[in-house]
A and B are shown apart, each in its own frame.
Chain A
């Protein structure tokens, strides 16, 4: 009896891949626009995204996650990174693991092995979301225009991650550096966010990075 159906979802051979913002043609915008822009955007695309569900109060669960990932299971509103991987708390029984492109299949199997016997869920959502990185001195202003959550450093230190209302929809905001933030966005909303962020950044200047 197999409890869950896990399969390699990416093609083994070279296949055409289009990230959520593929059609915005960001590649062509790199280096264009105002010099010293207040905000610089980068799509960290096609990464492996896994949603992990489980009982955070169960030491076996936390230990299993740690064993499989080498990262501590983060507590409320926290983000933990290790190399190119990160895991963040999404809710009392929900975490988001982001790993380099293509590693998600192996990582899921590793996690399932480490957590065998526990009631958990691991779901590959790589195709459904993307990461937008925003860097620059004016990112905070752009966030203030977009979300009613308090993004002041007093309330939003580096390493914090929250899910919240943003413009007229919702997404996840992570602060990964003094002036660096990441937005975890859903694929179908990507164009809306791109249009929104361009607009909100207009007065500060928006640059695009590779």
Chain B
């Protein structure tokens, strides 16, 4: 029998379905319905990993999300690796491969174990801070080592083949946790007709009822669970999410749920199915029914495999039919844990003894155990365990009533399992994610959620209501309250009857005393995952750390994926006693999302790969692809960058494209430029105020270039705006500025000048824009249009309507290259046909498509700015030598007027835009290079400006650049120097920024 610890019967497992799995290279068998932890225990696997700091052997300690040791790496292939999976939360499936994250060469013979024992003494709390602080440059090296030694798993190095996604949910009531209180709440809310979501982190709903020996209405508790789940499933307004952990409670009742849809089915999700899903839930009301975590007792060697949480033992026995040992010693300070001894006895196993820290326990469960002949040692506790890789004995000794001193040498009891229960801690994590401080309740010795502004109700265990019957009632009432607060009429309900018992109070016992004192006693672990001992906490307080937050950081208590589940309350109680303050004075640390680890896949959802970001295409994109374009990202747009011919690199292609435009005619897709339709009787006045220049006299049929500034007088966008009817304009913006300019216009119209009657509508996507540029553009266009293109009939900076390629078009005669240019605007649906006709007609003219790179070069040769490249939000029109574009005498103030006239903005030595001509025409000034007047000065040099645009490949035959230089406009002919990172210096002459055709003859060719 391979499953040596499997009980002959019992458990919610399907013994007919045998599943093979692999742990640390060895194959084992388990049953469907097992968790990985249950299957490992069934196979008698004691050591599951090595501890974080001391490299001590560790075994499975718990049965739920509080498990500190069995945090494993899962995955059969590199691509399917998942770190940080708790074996207690991973359903077993056929072919599961798990490995320990710590322990080399194997967990059973760990080299680190020897080092750890030596190192352990050398590693007091704060060790990392003290040791690895200096020299700082070594931190990277240390960190690598620490991470490896810490054994916190690793991410896959190959692409994950599975799909993860996000789903947005809205509900009236979100019930967190499907234990008794949660199910009762869900019933109450669901029956009212409210939209209800119930989420639970376990494989099936029921929580503690799945392994409870209690009966409800005389039947096993699990029967009631099945009935309730059946009813909820039948209601259309209810969404049930098992295997779904509510991991974060965020502002405004927004919660995130991490659902593992197919993690229980295999290493990879079945084809077509999603592996994990992040639900982003907006809930009107939240019912928190997160239950409690049992606290372990803190005693010597309480980390050796074979030490377990008491409740976990019951879970393994009753829910999985697994006995994690043969001879049990139970150490407790409360009544409820006695059920574990009874369950153990029921399974036909041997209870060596129960040590109860209370001196005269008389509760109902205690009496039941006593009646069954179980040996009960009162006023006693397990003070230390013995064993290296597995518990072999436990010493039970008498302690005083205050549980401060050991009062007898005690007795070593032969056993292989020590189950301990130190009381119960409400799981306040979610309730505290938004900062609500938990409140200490002395009567239950636990923190419960404090008041919070969130619209939530806490019920059951998390609310400090423990007895089953009370918990059901509390849950139902909470569900009624949540539903009625969400606007639904509650419905009466009858709850099942639970047996009520006499239960005596729990004794405060957060650390079991030891004769040798905390510092010299065998290690008493408080936080097993982070290897924090009681002695370490005491040391931290002695070293002056008095705030619980400081103690946490100094010792690592409750760090990382543990988030204080197991050791938090014991730890802060020990710190409180050491500092001689009360537990409420000590307080808790902050709990942060996520409650348990979440994969990055679930966080990213489908925002990855080819749909990571929206990509925008123009109506002509397919043509560009066909013509071999290389593309450039401009915002979200894909724009043709250049069109290389066979064997051409970007420089050769750009030189050729530039020459073609200057000599004959080129074609640019300008569809991405922002286009805004402006209508209204006050449109003209609005333009006067938005632009720096004047618009009053622009006639219908004409177009004008305009500059826009922010209030500070700095240029933020530019473009050409045309008057197409008295009250109707078409504005163009930069590609990147389209959305923000529209928003800008709306903001000013709506908030500052609501009296101006004007509307703005984006027509960017409606029109495709084809630009023909070059001396032959008129001839070419005339072949496909009925518009009179004659010099007088259609002058520069005007527009005409007519057919182009048989399609109605608006043609603007404007130019960004300095050449004769026509911008043809057509409804985008028809643009491809028009382009094909133009391309055909353009063959005799060597019509050359060009991209953004050539466009940049050609405009720079003319000294035209690109907002965002030659400007950076700190340049006024005057800085750009564009004072001609400022209407200084406009009657009404306009945006930027005051800003650009501030004292600092009219200084003469401001950085000003100029042309830069390298003395060596073959040298290229890197864009962004800093400029100085004297290259021989010592470092740090006095920087006087920088290069904004620079082009080696162009139509001029020499390298040139634009840049800003302090007082540059008055320094024409002077020299500046660009000292580069490689030590070389490029010398350049300050020249006019207009390199090509300064008189503007080109755009007026015949």
Say whether A and B bind each other: yes
Residues of A bordering B, CB below 8 Å:
1-5, 7-11, 13, 15-20, 23, 46, 51, 53, 93, 119-129, 141, 144-145, 147-150, 152, 154-155, 167-169, 186-192, 195-196, 199-200, 202-203
* Residues of A close to B826: CB separation below 8 A: 9, 127
B165 CB within 8 Å of chain A: yes
A-B contact pairs, 5 of them (CB 8 A): A93-B759, A127-B826, A127-B829, A192-B614, A195-B610
Contact of B832 among A18, A53, A149, A195 (CB under 8 A): A18
B637 touches A168 (CB 8 A): no
Q: How far is the CA of A203 from the CA of B679 in the complex (A)?
A: 46
* Residues of B close to A190: CB separation below 8 A: 617
Nearest B residue to A13, CB-CB: B806
Q: How far is the CA of A84 from the CA of B163 in the complex (A)?
A: 39
B757 touches A191 (CB 8 A): no
The tally of residues in B whose CB lies under 8 Å from a CB in A reads: 62
* Residues of B close to A125: CB separation below 8 A: 761-763, 765-766
Nearest A residue to B764, CB-CB: A128
B616 touches A4 (CB 8 A): no
Contact of B808 among A9, A119, A129 (CB under 8 A): A9
A7 touches B801 (CB 8 A): yes
A155 touches B611 (CB 8 A): no
B606 CB within 8 Å of chain A: yes
Q: How far is the CA of A11 from the CA of B803 in the complex (A)?
A: 8
B195 touches A191 (CB 8 A): no
Whether A128 touches B614, Cβ cut-off 8 Å, given contacts A1-B726, A3-B727, is: no
B265 CB within 8 Å of chain A: no
In the complex, the 3 A-B pairs of residues with the closest C-beta atoms, listed nearest first: A16-B833, A128-B765, A128-B766
**Given A10-B830, A129-B765, A188-B765, 15 extra CB contacts under 8 A:** A5-B728, A17-B833, A93-B759, A119-B680, A122-B679, A126-B827, A127-B766, A127-B828, A144-B168, A167-B611, A169-B614, A192-B616, A195-B610, A202-B272, A203-B272
A127 touches B679 (CB 8 A): no
Nearest B residue to A185, CB-CB: B765
* Residues of A close to B282: CB separation below 8 A: 148, 150
In the complex, which residues 716-743 of chain B have their Cβ closer than 8 Å to any Cβ of chain A? 724-728
* Residues of B close to A53: CB separation below 8 A: 679, 759, 761
Q: How far is the CA of A147 from the CA of B605 in the complex (A)?
A: 13
Contact of B829 among A17, A120, A147 (CB under 8 A): A17
B427 CB within 8 Å of chain A: no
Q: How far is the CA of A45 from the CA of B603 in the complex (A)?
A: 35
Q: How far is the CA of A199 from the CA of B618 in the complex (A)?
A: 23
Interface centre among B163, B165, B611, B801 (most CB of A within 10 A): B611
* Residues of B close to A189: CB separation below 8 A: 614, 616
* Residues of B close to A15: CB separation below 8 A: 805-807, 830, 833
B677 touches A123 (CB 8 A): yes
* Residues of B close to A195: CB separation below 8 A: 610-611
Q: How far is the CA of A125 from the CA of B165 in the complex (A)?
A: 34
A10 touches B808 (CB 8 A): yes
B272 touches A187 (CB 8 A): no
* Residues of A close to B762: CB separation below 8 A: 125, 128
Nearest A residue to B622, CB-CB: A23
Chain B nearest CB: distance from A5 CB in Å?
4
Whether A127 touches B611, Cβ cut-off 8 Å, given contacts A53-B759, A154-B195, is: no
Interface centre among A144, A155, A190 (most CB of B within 10 A): A144
Interface centre among A5, A53, A125, A154 (most CB of B within 10 A): A5
B273 CB within 8 Å of chain A: yes
A191 touches B807 (CB 8 A): no
* Residues of A close to B765: CB separation below 8 A: 125, 127-129, 186-188
* Residues of A close to B808: CB separation below 8 A: 7-11
Interface centre among B274, B613, B700, B808 (most CB of A within 10 A): B808
B170 CB within 8 Å of chain A: yes
* Residues of A close to B764: CB separation below 8 A: 128, 188
B619 CB within 8 Å of chain A: yes
